[in-house]
């Protein structure tokens, strides 16, 4: 079973977001980067599948050398080898094209991504990647089991879950449920030491990004909370009408 796990390097969820160069760039100074949390669910499931079915887990990241600490963490969690496609990821189609160009002749049985990156939140790479490779995709995928050349998955629909089956290869976009939080793999000392010598291939990027942007803005700060006494419905209605303007 050859599994490819797409790993995006994203700012830690507690990061205080600021911009640099006249609000034209995300300010990375002092920011801690981590494996995109949805990718961690996918990587942990990939490790479980490898342990039961055998095979190999490769990770792929589109990014510059500054993503390598995150890639090494994925290797410390248990991936066998990693590929970094050396390019500035500027939009979803570029990222999907880079990964498809790499994966198309490698014979992966299963490609796992996260359901979305938690920085730019496009949620677009998995579907684009599958389309470029001419294979099926399921997003979000909250459960996946493999039997021979068939995957049985659960995805979320309004009010419930749907069970879908697909022949391999396919792209599965992970979120919580593919494994539970308690099953997330954490690098141990042995894994961290082993990760230092695991293969990390760097290949040149070949696709151009098309995104054009002018400036970034932070959302308006939240207004202070106004407390209204529970027995003062008249005041509540008045405020909802005149200040919040929702009724
Ligand atoms: C205007 C703009 C400027 C940007 N500038 C930068 C920049 O300077 N530096 C930078 O690093 N990013 C930058 N990005 C982010 C970059 O474009 C994203 O990595 C890319 O758009 C994919 O993000 P997404 O939100 O569409 O991914 P989604 O579709 O939400 O991601 C789903 C899954 O796809 C996979 N995936 C996503 N991105 C990658 C990746 N890079 N490598 C491997 N797998 C991946 C992961 O498994 C992820 O969970 C920029 C984005 C925009 C819009």
User: Residue 94: what pLDDT?
Assistant: 96
CA-based nearest residue to 47, from 84, 70, 78: 78
Superfamily assignment of 2-215 in CATH?
HUPs (3.40.50.620)
Site to probe by mutation for ligand 1, drawn from 122, 203, 209 as the one with most ligand atoms within 8 Å of Cβ, is 122
Residue 194 C-alpha to ligand 1 middle, in angstroms? 28
| Closest atom, ligand 1, to C-alpha of 120 | 25
Q: Rounded to an integer, what is the distance from CA 121 to the centroid of its chain?
A: 9
Residue 199 C-alpha to ligand 1 middle, in angstroms? 24
User: Residue 222: what pLDDT?
Assistant: 82
Cis before 169? omega within 30: yes
Instruction: Dump pLDDT digits (tens) for 126-180.
Output: 999 999 999 999 999 999 999 999 999 999 999 999 999 999 999 999 999 999 9
Low-confidence ranges of the chain (pLDDT < 70): none
Residue 7 C-alpha to ligand 1 middle, in angstroms? 10
For ligand 1, atom 32: residue with the closest CA: 116
Angle (CA) 22 23 25, round 5°: 105
Assign residue 123 a region (left: φ > 0; alpha: ψ between -120 and 50; beta: otherwise): left
Pocket of ligand 1 from Cβ distances under 6 Å: 6-8, 36, 38-39, 60-63, 88-92, 95, 113-114, 116-117, 120-126, 211, 213
Q: How many helices (H) and strands (E) does the chain have?
A: 6, 13
User: Residue 244: what pLDDT?
Assistant: 85
Dist CA 26 CA 6 (whole Å)? 22
User: Residue 165: what pLDDT?
Assistant: 98
Q: Write out the two tokens for 190.
A: 């042995």
User: Residue 210: what pLDDT?
Assistant: 80
Q: Write out the two tokens for 97.
A: 């094209």
Contact between 75 and 59 under an 8 Å Cβ cutoff? The reply is yes
| Closest atom, ligand 1, to C-alpha of 174 | 49
Residue 137 phi/psi, 5-degree rounding, is: -140, 150
Residue 37 C-alpha to ligand 1 middle, in angstroms? 13
Contact between 92 and 128 under an 8 Å Cβ cutoff? The reply is yes
Per domain, the residue ranges of the chain are: 2-215
pTM over 0.75: yes
Dist CA 239 CA 226 (whole Å)? 9
């Amino acid at each position: 079973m050859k599994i490819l796990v797409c790993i995006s390097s994203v700012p830690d969820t507690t990061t205080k977001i600021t911009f640099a160069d006249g609000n034209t760039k995300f300010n990375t100074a002092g920011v801690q980067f981590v494996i995109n949390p949805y990718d961690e669910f996918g990587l942990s499931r990939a490790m479980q599948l490898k342990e039961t079915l055998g095979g190999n887990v490769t990770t792929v990241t589109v990014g510059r050398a500054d993503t390598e600490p995150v890639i090494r963490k994925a290797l410390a969690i248990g991936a066998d080898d990693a590929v970094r496609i050396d390019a500035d990821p500027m939009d979803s189609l570029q990222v999907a094209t880079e990964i498809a160009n790499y994966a198309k002749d490698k014979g992966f049985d299963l490609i796992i991504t996260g359901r979305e990156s938690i920085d730019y939140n496009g949620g677009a790479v998995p579907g684009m990647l599958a389309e470029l490779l001419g294979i099926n995709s399921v997003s979000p995928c909250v459960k996946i089991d493999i039997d021979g050349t068939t995957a049985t998955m659960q995805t979320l629909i309004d009010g419930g879950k749907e069970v879908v089956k697909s022949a391999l290869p396919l792209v599965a976009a992970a979120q919580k449920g593919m494994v539970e939080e308690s099953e997330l793999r954490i690098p141990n000392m042995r894994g961290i030491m082993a990760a230092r010598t695991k293969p990390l291939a760097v290949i040149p990027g070949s696709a151009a990004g098309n995104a054009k942007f002018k400036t970034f803005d932070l959302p308006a700060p939240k207004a202070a909370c106004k407390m209204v006494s529970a027995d003062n419905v008249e005041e509540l209605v008045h405020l909802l009408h005149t200040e919040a303007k929702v009724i």
